[in-house]
């Protein structure tokens, strides 16, 4: 199985440590992977802004970059959802992005190949799990709180739940949006921030030490708000937590909590 | 003024925003609990979705059937192409009978048509009888929610309104006392009314029946007392048969308020003895929407308001911020169909979190429709200029890996070099309430390359060492 | 007006959407084993009450709404003396409370309306009621308190079964009533008695032997 790793553009530029965590994780789990040079952006920001033409151009680039791979893995529920569900244009019926069907969000992939079986791992922390809306409601990673469908596996929870010493805190609203929403975070700054602040308050009330998610974009939104307000919460992508928890030599406690 | 600025004004009152959010979340939670008690909830939603779509496929036959049945039962059926025709018909019915006092129960259709001002201009007094609607009527405000019209108001504000208009003692803010006051004031108006106007929840083609639901009993007082009942119904409200009603009635109240069923679910067919029933069937843009493949499923809406209650943006921006008759996700799909330019901000007043689609009892794909409107807006060039320029620039940069590398590197270097306060100002509005993330010196790609060449170097050294040992 | 009609129908006919979403049909939910408990819970959730009483002398056994103005004297069982009552129930002792069935409800304040319900729906606590007259319907709305009397076998599991027992094609008016009139329009605070009755009591006449007659 040839695995191609897609590191979303904003992760590449703003949170390279998340990409490196995926690399560490894959190496620890013995998963061979490649990171094709030609990748840039999946095109989601353009699609959600309604710019189908620009989105399609990037979709074709994505296709070309990953044409040779059996599976494309990305540490972003949102990008994965876009690649999988929105590449085809509902209006024109045109289909760009044949890579969509082969694309997996990181945790989803690890659960699918049962990568953590017998690996162990330890994370003695109280973790607040921020559900990525797109992982949850588009990729159906778990059952949204609104839905009464039969239960589904929530990959992030399944992976973290297997770590020794971890406590996943109980939120009052377990899957409300962080308010990021791409351009929304800029154009609707006031509402966006209020949404994020409400999420932070929920995690704080629940006693979380670290907030984690399968999406860096949600974390950037929440972390930006929390840092400005001097909140003690730490924000780390699930890949970082898994890489630390599974490291052969456990990292120093400060390392788990990440930069504040 | 658009949604953005009105929403900003709403959020500026942090305490009220928190209250508004919590009040609506409470309704959402009640909806969840109600759904828990229905074992076949998701199948019920699917069935309702299928029936509504079947009805939309068969609208002409169903309405012809309805009309024949209703007439047979003694109802008079009118057709209105638009709001103006609707208002003219209703006003005409009232004027012909010399009627000057009318009670009206909640009807988003008559709001949409602007019926009240039309009748008032002709000297006809229209009293909205739903308590929430009465409150906003007395305040000369539009409803802020399609099920809970006064959800934006605090009890003290209702008290002030009643002090001003009903002689309530100043400072009165107890909901029981305020409701009692409104009850006795409105009871007199019910008894004095010469006609009752209602909306319609479901029109049944098979029998010519109209189903109207309420909790307060105002629909029934307004139709049981006066001689004339005028029911105004949008083209999308038809269902094929009586056996379809339970599917919708099992979903409607549970989705709307978390009740298993509303207090009153009334079935009208034709005119009762010594009574008149007039049904006004209204198009007003619905047939046009039906012709829009991307948006016509919005006509399946049964106006439960569940998408408003669950919408994290609606809960924190208030119904008035939308500037439309119908606010929230469904309004942001329906209203741009009436005037795209006026409501260009609405499809973007959404994070695409998808919660609305999950609660919708008739499975309207609201997020996809909002996304589709964004596509229409972009295709027609109805973008704010800043957004268009930013997107075009970003698209060019991201079109090639070299673009991302160069511009990303340059940007990061600049941010790291410039004074933090300056960067902060530059990065507004992101940084108005948010810190910028610490900007890394190197991109992932650079770090990855470095790591690989280091690994290659050490592998090379190891290979060389091994070779040396073998040689030795 | 026929021009508007024709224009609208023509526009609709010109657009024939095809959604390709088939009905699958639904299994009507079965009658729960603890039907009475579920029915009681639903009625109480709607702010109403359920009284299960044997038929014999039932008017003496029912707890009539206590809030009927406190100055109305009560003696033993039966509805309060002197209360203004609209009753559509023949067995109500006509002497006890001045049966006003002949009067018009809006003429004078009405304390209590006692009407017959057709059946109750277990899944939501609603009672299907068909007023025998315009007076009866108005009484149900104008009275301070409403009592609906249903028979021992008058239970259905869900609204699906309910509509199997109803024939709208022959019905000028009928309604489901569930709990008293209510509103939560002021700050989501629930207030009973918005415009109509402040209380609703469902009286289920059921003799002990008839327990298994539940359909």
Share of chain B above pLDDT 90, in %: 93
Would the CB atoms of A45 and B404 count as touching at under 8 Å?
Answer: no
Q: What is the pLDDT of residues A22-75, one digit of tens each?
A: 999 999 999 999 999 999 999 999 999 999 899 999 998 999 999 999 999 999
Size of interface B-C (CB pairs under 8 A): 244
| Contact residues for B327 (Cβ-Cβ < 8 A; gap 6+) | B144, B145, B146, B308, B314, B319, B320, B321
CA distance B228 to A37: 75
| Lowest-pLDDT range of B270-274, C48-52, C122-126 | B270-274
Q: What is the pLDDT of residues B107-163, one digit of tens each?
A: 999 999 999 999 999 999 999 999 999 999 999 999 999 999 999 999 999 999 999
Min Cα–Cα distance to chain A from B41, Å: 7
Of B132, B260, B267, the CB nearest to C124: B260
**How confident is the model over C25-52, as a mean pLDDT?**
95
> What pLDDT score does A97 carry?
63
Query: Taking 50 as the threshold, does the pLDDT of residue C8 lie above it?
Result: yes
Query: Taking 80 as the threshold, does the pLDDT of residue A155 lie above it?
Result: yes
CA distance B297 to B27: 25
Q: Are the CB atoms for C190 and C47 separated by under 8 Å?
A: yes
The DSSP bridge partners found for residue C128 are C119, C176
Query: Taking 90 as the threshold, does the pLDDT of residue B408 lie above it?
Result: yes
For chain C, say whether B216 makes contact (Cβ under 8 Å): yes
Of C162, C183, C197, the CB nearest to B179: C183
Would the CB atoms of A39 and B401 count as touching at under 8 Å?
Answer: yes
Centroid of chain to Cα C182: 14
| Contact residues for C104 (Cβ-Cβ < 8 A; gap 6+) | C135, C138
**How confident is the model over C191-207, as a mean pLDDT?**
95
> What pLDDT score does A96 carry?
57
> What pLDDT score does B384 carry?
85
A25 vs A66, A242, C172, CA distance in Å? 21, 7, 71
| Contact residues for C10 (Cβ-Cβ < 8 A; gap 6+) | none
A114 vs A32, A81, A237, B355, CA distance in Å? 15, 21, 20, 30
CA distance C15 to B292: 9
E strands present in B256-380: 264-268, 276-282
Q: Which residue of C has its CA nearest to B154?
A: C187
B279 vs B399, C76, C170, CA distance in Å? 58, 50, 18
- Touch between chain C and chain A (3+ CB pairs, < 8 Å)? no
Token pair listed for B323: 């500037």
Would the CB atoms of B266 and C1 count as touching at under 8 Å?
Answer: no
**How confident is the model over B435-439, as a mean pLDDT?**
94
pLDDT category, C79, cuts 50, 70, 90? Answer: low
Q: What is the pLDDT of residues A63-96, one digit of tens each?
A: 999 999 999 999 999 999 999 886 655 444 555 5
CA distance B218 to B131: 9
pLDDT category, C215, cuts 50, 70, 90? Answer: very low
Q: Which residue of A has its CA nearest to B25?
A: A173
Share of chain A above pLDDT 90, in %: 84
Mean pLDDT of all residues in chain B?
95
Which residues does chain A have within 8 Å of residue B377's beta carbon, measured at their own beta carbons?
50
Q: Which residue of B has its CA nearest to A65?
A: B401
Size (chain C), residues: 215
pLDDT category, A101, cuts 50, 70, 90? Answer: confident
Chain B interface test: which of A188, A225, A240, A258 (most B C-beta within 10 Å) = A188
Choose between B101 and A94: higher pLDDT.
B101
Would the CB atoms of B190 and C195 count as touching at under 8 Å?
Answer: yes
Would the CB atoms of B313 and A185 count as touching at under 8 Å?
Answer: no
| Lowest-pLDDT range of A42-46, B154-158, B228-232, C78-82 | C78-82
Q: Chains that contact B by 3+ CB pairs under 8 Å?
A: A, C
> What pLDDT score does C75 carry?
46
pLDDT category, A259, cuts 50, 70, 90? Answer: low
pLDDT category, C40, cuts 50, 70, 90? Answer: very high
| Contact residues for B271 (Cβ-Cβ < 8 A; gap 6+) | B73, B74, B75, B277, C172
pLDDT category, B247, cuts 50, 70, 90? Answer: very high
Q: What is the pLDDT of residues B167-216, one digit of tens each?
A: 999 999 999 999 999 999 999 999 999 999 999 999 999 999 999 999 99
Choose between C108 and A18: higher pLDDT.
A18
Min Cα–Cα distance to chain C from B47, Å: 6
Q: Are the CB atoms for B145 and B257 separated by under 8 Å?
A: no
CA distance A216 to A175: 16
Q: What is the pLDDT of residues B279-333, one digit of tens each?
A: 999 999 999 999 999 999 999 999 999 999 999 999 999 999 999 999 999 999 9
Q: Is B373 exposed, middle or buried (0-12, 13-18, 19+ CB in 10 A)?
A: buried
Write out the H or E segment, with its range, that includes residue B229.
strand B228-234
Query: Taking 80 as the threshold, does the pLDDT of residue C108 lie above it?
Result: no
Would the CB atoms of B312 and A179 count as touching at under 8 Å?
Answer: yes
| Lowest-pLDDT range of A92-96, A99-103, C57-61, C133-137 | A92-96
**How confident is the model over C180-201, as a mean pLDDT?**
96
Q: What is the pLDDT of residues C138-180, one digit of tens each?
A: 999 999 999 999 998 899 999 999 999 999 999 999 999 999 9
- β-pairing verdict for C173-177 and B264-268: antiparallel
Of B374, B384, B401, the CB nearest to A38: B401
> What pLDDT score does B385 carry?
86
């Amino acid at each position: 199985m040839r695995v191609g790793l897609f590191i979303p553009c904003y992760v590449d530029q703003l949170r390279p440590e998340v990409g490196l965590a995926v690399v560490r994780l894959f190496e620890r789990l013995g998963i061979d992977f490649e990171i094709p040079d030609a990748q840039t952006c999946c095109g989601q920001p353009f699609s959600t802004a309604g710019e189908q033409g620009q989105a399609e151009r990037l979709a074709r680039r994505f296709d070309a970059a990953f044409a040779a791979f059996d599976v494309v893995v990305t540490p972003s529920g949102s990008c994965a959802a876009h690649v999988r569900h929105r590449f085809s244009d509902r209006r024109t019926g045109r289909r760009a992005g044949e890579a969509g069907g082969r694309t997996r969000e990181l945790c989803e992939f690890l659960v699918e190949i049962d990568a953590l079986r017998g690996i162990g791992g330890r994370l003695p922390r109280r973790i607040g799990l921020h559900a990525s809306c797109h992982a949850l409601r588009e990729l159906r990673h778990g059952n949204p709180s609104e839905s009464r469908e039969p239960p589904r596996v929530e990959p992030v929870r399944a992976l973290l739940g297997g770590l020794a010493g971890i406590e996943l805190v109980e939120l009052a609203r377990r899957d409300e949006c962080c308010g990021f929403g791409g351009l929304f975070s800029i154009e609707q700054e006031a509402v966006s921030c209020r949404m994020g602040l409400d999420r932070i308050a929920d995690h704080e009330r629940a006693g979380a030490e670290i907030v984690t998610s399968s999406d860096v974009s949600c974390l950037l939104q929440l972390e930006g708000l929390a840092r400005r307000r001097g909140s003690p919460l730490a924000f780390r992508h699930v890949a970082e937590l898994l890489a630390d928890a599974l490291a052969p030599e456990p990292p120093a406690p400060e390392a788990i909590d990440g930069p504040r | 003024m658009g949604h953005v600025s009105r929403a900003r004004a709403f959020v500026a009152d942090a305490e009220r925003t928190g209250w508004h959010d919590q009040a609506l979340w409470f309704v959402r939670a009640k909806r969840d609990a109600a759904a828990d008690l229905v074992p076949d909830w998701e199948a019920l939603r699917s069935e309702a979705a299928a029936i509504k779509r079947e009805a939309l496929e068969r609208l002409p036959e169903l309405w012809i059937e309805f009309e024949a049945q209703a007439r047979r039962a003694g109802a008079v059926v009118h057709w209105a192409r638009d709001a103006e025709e609707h208002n003219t018909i209703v006003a005409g019915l009232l004027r012909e009978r010399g009627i000057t006092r009318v009670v009206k129960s909640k009807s988003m259709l008559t709001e949409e048509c602007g019926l009240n001002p039309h009748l008032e201009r002709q000297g006809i007094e229209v009293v909205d009888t739903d308590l929430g609607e009465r409150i906003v009527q007395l305040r000369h405000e539009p409803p802020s929610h399609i099920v809970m019209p006064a959800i934006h108001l605090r009890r003290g504000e209702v008290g002030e309104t009643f002090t001003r208009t009903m002689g309530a003692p100043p400072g009165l803010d107890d909901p029981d006392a305020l409701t009692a006051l409104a009850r006795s004031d409105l009871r007199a108006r019910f008894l004095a009314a010469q006609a009752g106007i209602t909306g319609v929840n479901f029109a049944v083609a098979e029998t010519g029946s109209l189903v109207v639901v309420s909790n307060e009993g105002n629909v029934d007082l307004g139709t049981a007392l006066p001689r004339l009942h005028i029911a105004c119904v949008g083209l999308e409200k038809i269902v094929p048969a009586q056996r379809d009603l339970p599917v919708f009635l099992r979903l409607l109240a549970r989705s709307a308020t978390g009740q298993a069923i509303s207090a009153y679910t009334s079935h009208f067919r034709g005119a009762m003895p010594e009574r008149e029933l007039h049904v006004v069937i209204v198009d007003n843009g619905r047939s046009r929407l039906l012709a829009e493949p991307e948006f016509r499923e919005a006509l399946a809406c049964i106006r439960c308001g569940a998408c408003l209650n669950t919408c994290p943006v609606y809960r924190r921006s208030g119904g008035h911020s939308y500037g439309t008759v119908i606010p929230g996700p469904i309004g942001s799909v329906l209203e741009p169909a009436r005037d795209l330019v006026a409501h260009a901000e609405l499809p973007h007043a959404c994070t695409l979190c998808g919660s609305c689609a999950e609660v919708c009892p008739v499975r309207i794909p609201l997020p996809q429709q909002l996304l589709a409107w964004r596509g229409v807006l972009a295709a027609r060039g109805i973008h704010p200029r800043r957004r268009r320029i930013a997107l075009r620039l970003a698209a060019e940069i991201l079109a090639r890996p070299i673009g991302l590398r160069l511009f990303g590197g340059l940007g990061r270097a600049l941010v790291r070099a410039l004074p933090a306060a300056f960067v902060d100002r530059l990065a507004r509005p992101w940084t108005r309430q948010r810190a910028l993330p610490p900007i890394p010196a190197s991109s992932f790609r650079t770090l990855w390359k470095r790591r690989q060449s280091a690994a290659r170097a050490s592998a090379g050294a190891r290979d060389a060492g091994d070779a040396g040992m073998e040689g030795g | 007006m026929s021009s508007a009609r024709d224009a609208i129908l023509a526009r609709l006919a010109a657009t024939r959407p095809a959604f390709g979403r088939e009905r699958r049909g639904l299994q009507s939910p079965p009658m729960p084993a603890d039907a009475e408990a579920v029915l009681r819970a639903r009625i109480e959730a709607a702010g109403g009450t359920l009284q299960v009483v044997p038929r014999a002398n039932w008017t003496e056994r029912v707890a009539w709404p206590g809030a009927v103005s406190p100055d109305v004297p009560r003696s033993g069982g039966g509805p309060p003396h002197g209360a203004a009552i609209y009753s559509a129930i023949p067995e109500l002792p006509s002497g006890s409370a001045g049966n006003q069935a002949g009067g018009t409800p809006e003429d004078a304040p009405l304390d209590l309306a006692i009407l017959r319900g057709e059946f109750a729906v277990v899944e939501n606590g609603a009672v299907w009621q068909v007023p025998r007259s315009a007076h009866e319907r108005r009484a149900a709305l104008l009275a301070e308190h409403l009592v609906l009397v249903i028979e021992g076998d008058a239970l259905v599991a869900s609204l699906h079964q309910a509509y199997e027992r109803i024939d709208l094609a022959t019905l000028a008016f009928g309604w489901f009533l569930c709990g008293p009139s209510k509103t939560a329009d002021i700050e989501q605070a629930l207030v009973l008695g918005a415009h109509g009755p402040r209380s609703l009591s469902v009286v289920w006449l059921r003799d002990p032997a008839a327990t298994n007659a539940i359909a």
